[in-house]
A and B are shown apart, each in its own frame.
Chain A
Amino acid sequence: MTGFPLRRQCATLLVLMLAVCVAGTALRARPQNASADDHFQLGAQALTDGDFGKAIKEFDAVIAERPAFAEAFFNRGLAHQELGQMADAAADFQSALRLKPGLRGANLFLGIAYYKTNDFSRARTAIQREIKLSPNDAKALMWLGIVELGAGEPEAAIAPLDKAAELAPKDVDILYHRGRAHLTVSNRSYQEMYEADPKSWRVHQVLGQAYAESERYMDAIAEYQKAIEIAPNAPSLSEGLGDAYRMSTQLDKAEQAYSRELELDPQNLMAMYYLGEIRVLRGNGAEALPILQAVLKEKPKFADARYYLARGLAEVGQNAAAEEQFKLVIQDSPESELAQRTYYQLGRLYRVMKRPQDVERAMQEFQRLKVAADARESANLEQRKKAHAERDADQNP
């Protein structure tokens, strides 16, 4: 239900864009018949204005005078499509394509017309023809994905939608449908997995992930434990368990889980990182250091790992090394929230090192970043307040 208005919105946008484009092309291409030109211009304007009935009449007049004018059929097809007259629209798009097989957009809108009559097979064929003509048309790729989703083929939808997202990474419609495709595929996969073996450890793993994502950590822990009971040597389960324990701040148990994960998969960097972080948080910096150093050897830009390495170094009294690492964290991203926290830790470190002037400087930087962050937060809040007020005014005029 929620998809339709969005689809319609996209289609409308495309129609208007193409109508103007096609109209412009037509006028430039066919200037010799003044009467047809006038009708074409009036039709294009009516299309832009949303007066689709009038547009059809104007394009009827153009076609009566110039029955081989492909753009007129195309534009009339767009008007029919907007009025929900899909059969008429498809017929016009087909006529346009017969007259001008390379007419840009005609295959796409023909495909959309088929899609709207649930003829997914012909819709797919038409849109694929459009993509062959314009391989980097993100909207055509999106519509192919939408058609595949409508046809119950979410796996086939993923490739065109991924490509569309690559071409138009900020197009919310494309991102929406891409997300829908991936979600559908994953849900179907999980469903098939469950039907294949309801007692599989994978089922518990998926449930564990789902509970963890909805912040139901106790439930997540229970599911991961069940999975591990069935498959004690399967990698990633202990990591998931560790994540759930960590998020519920049962750090002692999280530490055990990550340690187990690393027995099974010694190269699991995230398990290594979290094990190191937890050991620092639990005041066991000495045991955290080699792990975090190993993580940073693999991923030198892992700022959070460096932050905890620095904290671990501070814990074991390697103050100069800790200072150096903290400074590297700040250097990488001097205005970030992590930098703010790092200045706070630096201030604490300098206090231990009995460098009061540096304490002062670090805390001043911490305060500066905090004030800036608070100001941003305040601005957001003011916007929210304003939005609240406007919404209340709308609802209680």
Chain B
Amino acid sequence: MRFAFRMTAIAAWAVSLASTLAVSVVWLSSATETPSFPGTRATGSAAFEDITEASGINFRYVSSHTSKKYLIETMGSGVALFDYDNDGRLDIFLVNGAPIADPTPKGTVPRKDGPSTWNRLYHQKVDGTFEDVTEKAGLQGIGYGMGVAVGDYDNDGYEDLFVTGYGRNTLYHNNGDGTFTDVTASSGLAGSGWSTSAAWVDYDNDGLLDLVVLRYVTWDWDDFWCGEHREGYRAYCHPDLFSPIAPMLYHNDGNGHFAEVTQQAGFAKPGKGLGVAIGDYDKDGRPDIVIANDSMPEFLYHNDGGGKFSEVGLSSEIALDDNGKTYAGMGVDFADYDNDGWPDLVITNLANQRYAIYKNTGDGSFTYASEPTGIAAMTVMHSGWGVRFLDFDNDGWKDLLVAQGHDLDTIELSSPQLRYREPLLLAKNNNGKGFMDVSASSGPVFAKKWVARGLATGDIDNDGRIDAVITTNDGPAYILRNVTRTTNHWISLQLTGHKSNRDAIGAQIKLTTKDGSQYAMVSTAGSYLSASDKRVHFGLGQNTEAKSIEIRWPSGNVQNLSSVQGDRLVKIEEPSAAKENN
């Protein structure tokens, strides 16, 4: 009954809109087409539930532990939530490792040796379960994988995949027929060294997605014994033992080839990059890039225009904590948690360091806000990796979901109060004033202890509640369905660029309801090694509609919509005119 009513209502609204307004909002769809996952049901006050088993996904990340405790073994892997076949349902791509010899000679680039270490693509079927289509898609992979980035680099309407790894990265072109082609060689994106997170971003707003690829450290199977020198106590080495290395910035030439422009763009500062996110922190219309570095200052690359960047982490006050100290930056997300119009930052790190929240002051700098927001107190004993701002209860305020677990599997020997396996953290946003740890009351999944690493978010079942996928080190990937019981409303926006890049990555959205405005930027980047749903989700609270939506496209076009009904996915095409008001 509910389903039928909504479809009717949406159709009526769409007809009305299309016939009365000569606008670029061309297509609307219901967000309730996908039925619930079989065998699952919301229970109690749970916010999320683990539906991995019912989903049909049976993935296990192979890190290949050795007696040498190679650092790469503990870093985990990424996940992408994206719709590769444009059927309106999110699919899942999971990155896997490869066998490592014990010991491994220097210069080795590990290779996958069979299905147990393949990367996997899972296609979501109409009934909400998933089928493994890896072989058909040709996405098994080659080497020891790390992260994944999603973007339609050739604007053909199909999302492409960039997979990072140790020794070599891979660009897969989506052929649009359920298959992908490895175009790494012709694209010039193979890279080198130990790559981690990557992000697609049109940094010069030329309508073509460019690519940022982080690298972690200069490392070559170094055999250092770290930790106590006795059996069972050998630990993964601290990154301080290894030299930093510059990230790679690639400019999309538009012909399938990318030019490496790291040096000339001013992007060559050596770091120990693990997480990357994009956001226009100074609202100058150009996307900026933040890099979470491990145990050294964090970087904020200000986009100066003209293909140039300046690293302003220190002067913008995001490089360090409030005491001027570095920490082990790992995951990062860039979003406006306090709805003041200025994107803020969260950077996860290790236990005893406190995850860093940086509130954007609007004058080009940030204020470290971990203490006053309550994030410090709730995270001091935890180690965070993947992190996303998401409005899990659709109240109009972006909350935080964090994948947690220490990097040292020996941590409990040296620090008995800490844990290698940790539960997830769900922190509810208290109207922009701070956050409250609601994990304990958010369902049994938050009592499970994992060595969590990657995290991607998106509305997997298109029910208007943001779901998540978590990867774990040497463990399964978990599909978490958002089952939050709420009467709040929502809206999801899927933007398609024409003059801008087709994914509309970098488009800035201001959504206003009776309660105020919210802001977001289209991006698939953020978190740790992972890529999230490009659709932009807003909770509307008790409002059934958005009074207005303003979209600033990367091309410079500004588009305004008014009285947009909620509880649905709205597909929006970039207008051809420079400015269009609806």
Contact = CB atoms under 8 A, between A and B. Distances in A.
B224 A388 contact: yes
A341 interface: yes
B416 A282 contact: no
A345 interface: yes
Nearest to B365: A351
B132 interface: no
A112 to B, nearest CB: 34
A340 B380 contact: no
B365 A252 contact: no
A388 B238 CA distance: 14
B229 A283 contact: no
Interface of B: 224-226, 229, 240-241, 314-315, 317, 320, 322-325, 354, 365, 371-372, 376-377, 380-381, 415-417
Contacts of A385: 224, 241
B320 A344 contact: yes
Main secondary structure of the interface of B (DSSP, over half): loop
A184 interface: no
Given A340-B324, A392-B225, A216 B315 contact: no
B354 A249 contact: yes
A363 B316 CA distance: 12
Nearest to B371: A281
A237 B316 CA distance: 41
Given A341-B323, A341-B325, A283 B315 contact: no
B513 to A, nearest CB: 29
Contact of A363 (B226, B314, B323): B314
A251 interface: yes
Contacts of B226: 388
B435 to A, nearest CB: 13
Interface SS of chain A: helix
Nearest to A391: B229
Name which of A248, A363, A366 has the most chain B CB atoms within 10 A of its CB. Answer: A248
Nearest to B223: A392
A31 B354 CA distance: 76
A109 interface: no
A343 B225 CA distance: 36
Nearest to B322: A281
A363 B416 CA distance: 38
B241 A250 contact: no
A282 B372 contact: yes
Given A282-B372, A283-B371, A248 B377 contact: yes
B225 A344 contact: no
Contacts of B225: 388, 391-392
Contacts of B241: 381, 385
A90 interface: no
A202 B325 CA distance: 37
A274 B390 CA distance: 35
A214 interface: yes
Contacts of A283: 371-372
Contact of A348 (B317, B354, B380, B417): B317
B395 to A, nearest CB: 23
B447 to A, nearest CB: 17
A217 interface: yes
A359 interface: yes
Contacts of A377: 240
